[in-house]
Structures are given as structure tokens and as C-alpha cells.
Amino acid sequence: MPLTFSTNSDALPLHVIAADQLEGWIAAQEGTVATWIAAAGFKAALGEVLLVPDANGAPMMALAGYGSAAKRARGRFGLAAAAAKLPEGCYRLAGDLSAVAVEEEALGWLLSGYVFDRYAKTSGARARLVAPEGVDAARLEAIAAGEALTRDLINTPASDMGPEELEDAARGLATEFGAVFDVIRGEALLEQNFPMIHAVGRASDRAPRLIDFTWGETGPKLTLVGKGVCFDTGGLNIKPGASMGLMKKDMGGAATVLGLARMIMALGLPVRLRVLIPAVENAISGSAFRPQDILTARNGLTVEINNTDAEGRLVLADALALGAEDGPDLMLSMATLTGAARVAVGPDIAPYFTDDDAVAAAIAQAGARVADPVWRLPFHQPYESMIEPGIADLDNAPKGGFAGSITAALFLRRFAGEGARYTHFDIYGWQPASAPGRPKGGVGQGARAVLEALPEVLGL
């Protein structure tokens, strides 16, 4: 089902009723409606639905429970839970919506229609919604389409989503919006000075590559960098099976960046957008890079390899160094980078790092407005010594395990350019259990917060 709003003028009225409003709402209805609701035992619990018939037995309205404020605060997209339970058809929000977060709920309804059915027939919510009055329908549809792209890319297994397929997806997006597309593959990475992308990807028979596309001719320069490790075995420091099970999602940063880029281009934001994706498979073979190898990055910094499973920061480093050469007004990276971030904030929150307090505040406030939870973590200067091994400029996997997300972010900052306006997101990219508007599987994190914050951050 398309993630778009319905234009059906005969859509069934849908009354969204909070639990503390139910008694007053019933009192204002005619007797037969009140009798039907009482007989059905409708309590307006969050996600509860009820169809109310007319005298002939045909539905004349639908009710959706909105629960209590306390229940709503424990999640998001509460109305999407009702959308998943309503029968197929078209609905329009009716009555007093003053207590409803209309824009958030309208987006959640759209996202409830998402389904990943490439390999097996399945379906999402079949109920469609007429765009509520006052909502920017085109904007929400563009956001939903970007989120669907992210989810599709993450959900696709590595057998069908290697570096080449990720390149194809990026090229298709660039073509759709008239962006200028380029890619550097295989040995050409060495020739054009991307040694760490090449080192991480060279063990696979699926050639590593750097995907690069640009869009927009005026406005501030915005560069998005996404980690595109299409599968991560851990390399010679091989992961245990339990840790390898979800590694198809290790390109979740690239997927989220592509989803965000889609939103930006579809909405026509006045920026000069650049998207950089180092796409590799971290495999095992005789040509794999090794522990205690020392690699020289694009910007000349040397890196001692103390764990081949800390490969994401290596490929991002070369891409960030390239991005910095162009002097962007804002450079932002997204990566499924560390387990430490998940331990710190769990799977539902996207931690981010920035030295710019204004950028940090804009993203935090935007995330709260659009129900995309984010949390700032620090570029903590005293930990810089933890990523300096002595034998090389940098250590890709500091010993001890402390502050793993922070040390990874500090590592990346070394490649973003001196004094750069740089922000890094360490996302999870996966919904562990189904929730309203978010089925189990791949999910975008941070993209909607960034999109919402960009006008303030870039002065658009």
C-alpha cells in the first residue's frame, strides 16, 4: 500500500478519544450510539477501536482510543496502533482534535502501512487516512517515503544488498532527483587515495567502493556521510555467531543517510547536498587486513589496527577526509558504529556528538517535536589519549572497553577537518520488537530530527 494520504471524500469519520474525555463525549451523543459503545465495552484505551453502525447496520463512524497522557508518553505514534486494527477503508479525523498531536499521528498512520514483502507475502495496516486539516501532507509523504527507503535497504539481506546493490540504490535515488553521481571502485580506491576503504573491503570478492553524489546548486553546503558496511563478519577478529546475526544492518548509516537525502531532495530544500557512502563487505580471506597492521588514511594520519571488527570508523575516516576537503557548512555522519552506544541509551534513542552547542540544541529540540528521540553525548577531550597508541597516530580499538562510543566519535572527528562544523550519529538502525508505526526490522533514526533542525542550523 502506498504511504500516502487518501483523497476519498466519502471517508468514514474517525473520532480520536482520550480516556478522560470518553464520558463527556458519550454524553453528547444520541442514545443509540451511547448504548452501542456501552455494549461493546469501549474504554478508549490507547489503540482500541470500535465501529459504530447506523440504523441499517452500516458503519457511520469509527472510534479510536487515545488512552491516557501517561500511556502516550511511554511511546509514540499511538494512533498508528488503531490504524493497524481498523478494517480496510478510508478514514478522516473528526471532532475535537485539540488533545491530539495531529502531525505526529498522521505520520505514524502513514508509517503503519509500511511492509517489507520482498520475500514473503505480508501486509501492513490497510486503513488509509485523509490528510488532517492544517497538516503539510506533501512533507509527511516525503518523510514517509524516505523512511521506507531506509527500512527497505536495512531489511534486505546481504545476499541481495552488497556494495554493488547499495550503489545501485544510491544511483537510482540520484537519478530520480537529477543528482550528479560518481563512484570509485576496487583498485581505483588506492589510485585515488582512499586506502582505508580499500583495506577493509579488499578481502571480499564484492569490490569496495566510495559512492558520491551531489544535488542542488545554491545554498549552504551540507555533506552526509553514511557507513555502508553491507555485512560485517568482524574480519580476522571474527564475531561470534550471536553477534553476527544482525550484521546485514551494518549499512544502516548509509541507509539512513539515503533516506534523509531523499527527504531533502523531495522537499526541495535550498542546500548544496553531497552524499558520501563508503560501501564495503568486511570479509575474511588471505587478503584481509590484520590486527597490528598500520594503515595510512587519506588525510595522512596513521592508524594501528587492534581489532578488525572496528572497521566502520576506518571506512568513514577516508570519506570524512574527502568531505572535509570541500569545506561544507555542516558535515554529518551516521553509522551503526558501536555496541557501547546501545548499552548507554538502548535501541530506541540515537546518540549524537557535536562541538556546536547551537547545533546540539537545535537537534534535541527538533527530535522532541517530531517524535524522533535523540540524546547528545560528549566529545570528551580527556579521552583523546585513549585513541593514541604511540606506535601510530591513532588506535582503531582502544583497550579497556571504556567509553567506546565516545572514543569512536573522537576518532572520526580527527578526519572531519580542523574547526569543522561536524555532527556524528551512532545509531542502531533496528526495531527489536514491533511497535505502532514501526514493525520489527530496519528503522531510520535521527533523520527526521536532522531534517527538522536543518532550517535553524543552516539558516534556510
The catalytic residue positions are 239, 313
Residue by residue, what is the 3-state secondary structure of 286-344? CCCCCCCCEEECCCCCEEECCCCCCCHHHHHHHHHHHHHHCCCCEEEEEECCCHHHHHH
- CB 405, CB 340: distance < 8 Å: yes
3-state SS class at 430: strand
Q: Count CB-CB contacts under 10 A for residue 380.
A: 14
Three cell numbers written together for 134: 492544517
- Phi/psi region, residue 298 (left: phi>0; alpha: psi -120 to 50; beta: rest), is alpha
- CB 410, CB 395: distance < 8 Å: no
| Distance from C-alpha of 252 to C-alpha of 246, rounded to nearest angstrom | 11
In the chain, the largest separation of any two C-alpha atoms, in whole Å, equals 83
Cα 68 to chain centroid distance, Å, stands at: 28
Three cell numbers written together for 302: 596513521
Residue (of 266, 284, 265, 285) closest to 275 by Cα position: 265
One-letter amino acid at 45 equals A
Sign of CA dihedral 137, 139, 141, 143: negative
- CB 446, CB 150: distance < 8 Å: no
